Structure formats: structure tokens, C-alpha cells
Structure 1
């Protein structure tokens, strides 16, 4: 028996290692040539301290209180030199990946399809040449063929498959957009580096509110794919907002998720006053069915900076402090920083 351990470093890099039955996370990482922080490896110094956000494990009783207190254990803090997983886990490592003599991994892939799903969005499908592990919601850097530059895009496909998909904003004159629209064809090779980002689906233990703007829908498609595969027993509500009717994409897929997942509901919103859509305005105008529960909710938000700022302002104005708040801003050429407010 072995388990997959996602190590999330503070610079946004995620590396996956395989931990064998009875093996500590520290030893599994070292076996993968990832030098996690460590001084004693005996549960005495606390140098290897991190936080486990997901998964089951045993810390034993050989560490001392000076290294890890009971309060820290209650908060999910762990010592990787003592942590023996009994399931797949996600561990936050509070240092940069470069300090652990590791970094992003790179895989190549083959373009399978390029679809202009709207005037403002492109769907890119890629078949990876090797397994690429990621958490639902994370992104990868894709090098633009014929250049030394790369662009960051969130996976819209489920983790665990080599059939990858991305929902990409079609930026007139944009480096990647121009290549996709004018030159890309099935069989072209791509280089993907990652995964990256701290914006990913945590264990669903309470109601979930997902707020997407434009192609910020991509990570939520991956999250819904994950929930469809693993089940969802908490109310989960997605509000997806765009500017114009033609900007709405993947509506059929969203309806399928809502139709097959008992606790999932979806609402689409169009901002344009000229729209005939039943729900007009911004996502913050349509929070009436959102499972906010006086703050007993986990909120995920991904969209352009003005939308993110507006939603943050909405919650402040309402005096609502969600149990956790994870958000990611993006711009046409670069991803914004992922942030989490617990």
C-alpha cells in the first residue's frame, strides 16, 4: 500500500511524492530527492513543521511539546519527520521549493483539439505524454510554441487523467491566443510545467459556494469533475458570471453536473443590460440562494481582479466571515496570486 502526498510550497509549486506504508513524509520526500527542512528527524526541533490540509495520518507520541504543541496538532500542524500517512494527503510546506532543492516538474503533451467555444474563450485539449498529478483547481504553465514565453492556465479537467483540458481567454493579439487561433493543430507538441497554485478544492466538510467570472470557470470545472468522481454530500452552489450572453460557455456541462450531483446547483449571470438572460447583473446581485449560513461555508472565487475585489467588498459589507475563503485573480497574460483567508 502506498499513498500520494502533495507537497505545497510557499512559492506556489506543488510536488507529489509516493509514501509507502509505514513511511514518514520526510523520508518519502528525501527518497524523491526533495530536501524538506530538517535538523533532528526525531521530533525534537520542530524544523520540519508543516500543515496537513487533507488526509489521514499518525504522528505517534515520540515528539516533544516544544516541537509541536497540542494546540498546533488541533490546527492540523504536523512534523513531517513523524507524520506517517494512512491515506493520500496534502501538506503545506512553509518554505520555497528552491530551498528544498526541488521545483516544478515538466511534461510534454500533444494537442488533441482546439475549439473556439465563444468569441472570448478557447478550449484547448491536450494529451499528456506522462502522468501529471495536480489538485482540482491548480494551474500549469504552458510554453507558447515558437517562443521562450509561457502562460499560466488552470486545468478544467479532472485530476488523474492524461486527457487534459483548459479554458483560455481569447485575447486579441495575445501571444498564446494568436497561436491557438492561427497556428495550432492536432499533433503539435506542448511543454507543460507545474502544477502550481494554492487555489484548490479542500475536503468538503460544510456547504460550498463557488464564484466564477469568465474563463475563471476553468478551475471549477475541474472541481466539479472531482466531486462527480468522489461524491458530494454538502450543498454546493456555483454562480458563474460573464459580460455578454455569448460569453457563456460550458453551460451544458454545468447542467449535467447539476443534474447528476444531488447537492450541486448552478446559476449563470450576465452583466449586460442588453441581455435577455433571466439573471442579469453581477454575481453579487444573485447571492439569494447561496449557502452562506452565517459564515458556515467555504468560499472559492476565481475571476478578473474587479470581480474578486467586488466579491470581497460584498462579504465585508454584509459582515460575513466565511469559515474559509480561497480566491484567485487572473489577468489576460499572467495569473494573479492565489490567496486564502481562513
Structure 2
């Protein structure tokens, strides 16, 4: 469930008197910056060569208006035309005026290109390649500069496939505070990463990856949560559970995990371990194959009812293939329930593109992310 703690990533540091800020851009790129308590987030961003769009720098135009998803701050001085009281109350802020009181996660309404920044490149060594099942392999990497690797639980990276000119996208199955970086890969015929992991991978191999990326990540839990995973879509939810194991929330979390066949099931023992240390965590799994030995046969939708959604007072995190994501969304809509927030990530089949995130479906699958928030916080 956990690995030995390595050098503490900057994102995990507390009590330093400075804020570590995650800037999440519209195109999924996330950049992390350090911000002193006496400097604004915009000033710290510019020092780090991340150019948050702004015009006035005086809290008068509202050009830099962003949304704070996590953390506390001093909002500074500004006029109503730049930021209304209602906007400030709901979590919007002006990076040109705000100073951090803790670590922050900011959603910036701009692309990384417009901010003239890009995802970081990291180099790592293959530590382990573990066959979890007939269809799933676990890849564990030792990152050269672990302190430089920051990510939010649920995010993914683009991994260069050794010996090729191709890249594949996979979500972290490990948590931000763990020393090694781990991923789940579904083995598929003809897949570039699948071929490498099954035929050529050896401990000690060198691998480059780029990231973190993605807007599918764990927000602060202020109400009950429902986690839904399909196949290797379990990976980002494991990363979220690891975060909750280190900093438990005061709200219950229900995880439902569905696969096609018994041979696709992985990490049931890990889920049991997490349930033993995370207060309020419960989980269940189901298998679509009618011949399965699992107690629940069928699809995840068969396990979702009004109670699981707390009548709408729940945050939903869903990761899986398109058919599952669409079925779950239709099922919840059919229940006549609108979750407080709904975050989902799915694998979209696109001809001629790489394997999907988390192993995808085949060699012609690309990773696509969509996040929807229904109803305000």
C-alpha cells in the first residue's frame, strides 16, 4: 500500500512559512511554484518563468482571475469590478494580489502556451515490472530527482517507450508522498508499451517522462465521495486513496471497481489495506463476465443507487473506458440525482494515436480527459 518515504517532495512540505502553489492550466498542464508569504502568487509565478495572464497588477482589471480549489490565502486589495464579493466568497481570487497562508491549488483560466510554460521532463530508472494479472502490469520507477516531481493525486504523465520514438500516457497509481512513482498498464496486443514491458523491460532501464498533466485530481473532500473505477482506471483512484491515507478526510468515501473478467482484477488486497487505515472508506467490486466467481456480477451501475450518492450530497470521481463513463453518467441522470460535483476521465479511441492512459484499450487508443462540475461547492 505504501512505500518507504523518500526525500520529501516540495508539495508535501508544511510549516516552512511559504506556500507551494500548483497552477492548473486549461490544457491540463500543471506547474508548481514556491511563493513566499510576503509575495503575491503572480510575482512568484513570474520569478519561476510562468507568465499568468494579467494586465494591471493592481487588482483593478480582473484579467488574472483564477479559482482556488485548495488552500488558504490573503486575498489582498482589489476593486469590485475586478472581483465581486460573491466571486471571492465562492473561491475566486486574483493572483496579482493574493499571498499564500498555506499550500494552494489554483485553476488558471488560460493555456500553458499562453503562460509560456510547459510540463517538466523527468528521468527515472525502472525499479520493478510486476505482473499483477494476465492483463495488467505494474511499472515502478525510481525518479532521479524525486524532490522535483510534484503532482496532484489523479494526474498522469507521458512516458517515453524505451527503444522507440513513441510516448504513452499513464496515471500515477502511487501517491505524491511516496518515494517511487508507480503506474498500472493494461497489456494489449500490438501496444508499444505493452511490447516493451512484456518482452524487453529490465530493472535498471532508463526512462524519461513528461508531466504532470490532467485536470482529473482529488479536490478537498468537504462532503461524502463516490470513487468509480473501470479496469486500470483504478490507478488514479489508488493515488487518491494514498493521499487520504496520509491525510484522512472527515467524510465517508465509497469506492466501486468494475472489470470485464476475473483475470482483470488487481489490487483487491491494496483496497483492503486502505480500508483498514482510512476512516469511512468502504469498497466493492463487480465483474461483467456471467461466469465470474465474484459475488457481484454485472456492471458498476448496478451498485450505484441514491444511497451511494447521498441523495446528491456527494463528490463523484469516475475513471474508465468511454462505455463505462457514458453508462455511469446516464445511470446517475436516470436516478434524477445531480452530484455536488462530478469529475471524470475516460479513454477515447482515436485512430492512429498511442495507447490510452492507464493502458488503454489497444495500440490505437489515446487518453482524453473531461472534467465536469455540476452544481457549485
1:217-296 equivalence runs, <5 A: 217-288=234-305, 291-296=308-313
SS of the equivalent of 2:132 reads strand
Report the TM-score, using the length of structure 2 for normalisation: 0.89
RMSD: 1.1
Question: Is the Cα contact below 8 Å between 2:156 and 2:171 reproduced in 1?
Answer: yes
Deviations 1:302-329 (A, max 9, x none): 0000000000000111111000000000
Q: Which residue of 2 aligns with 1:58?
A: 74
Greater fraction of residues in strand: 1
**Aligned with residue 26 of structure 1, among 42, 45, 56:** 42
SS of the equivalent of 2:67 reads strand
Unpaired runs of 5+ residues, structure 2, are 1-16, 348-355
Report the TM-score, using the length of structure 1 for normalisation: 0.98
Unpaired runs of 5+ residues, structure 1, are none
**Aligned with residue 141 of structure 1, among 155, 158, 178:** 158
Question: Is the Cα contact below 8 Å between 1:133 and 1:160 reproduced in 2?
Answer: no
Q: Which residue of 1 aligns with 2:135?
A: 120
Q: Which residue of 2 aligns with 1:336?
A: 368
Cα distance, 1:337 vs structure 2: 1.8
State the distance in 1 between where 2:223 and 2:120 align: 33
Q: Which residue of 2 aligns with 1:86?
A: 101
Deviations 1:145-202 (A, max 9, x none): 1222111000000103341100111111100110011001000011110000000000
State the distance in 1 between where 2:72 and 2:328 align: 33
Tell which deviates more after alignment, 280-289 or 65-74.
280-289
- 1:175 and 2:230 are equivalent in the alignment: no
State the distance in 1 between where 2:305 and 2:335 align: 13
Q: 1:289 to 1:167 in 2, by over 3 A?
A: farther
SS of the equivalent of 1:51 reads strand
Cα distance, 1:289 vs structure 2: 8.4
Tell which deviates more after alignment, 285-294 or 112-121.
285-294
Question: Is the Cα contact below 8 Å between 2:216 and 2:369 reproduced in 1?
Answer: no
- 1:307 and 2:324 are equivalent in the alignment: yes
Q: 1:289 to 1:267 in 2, by over 3 A?
A: farther
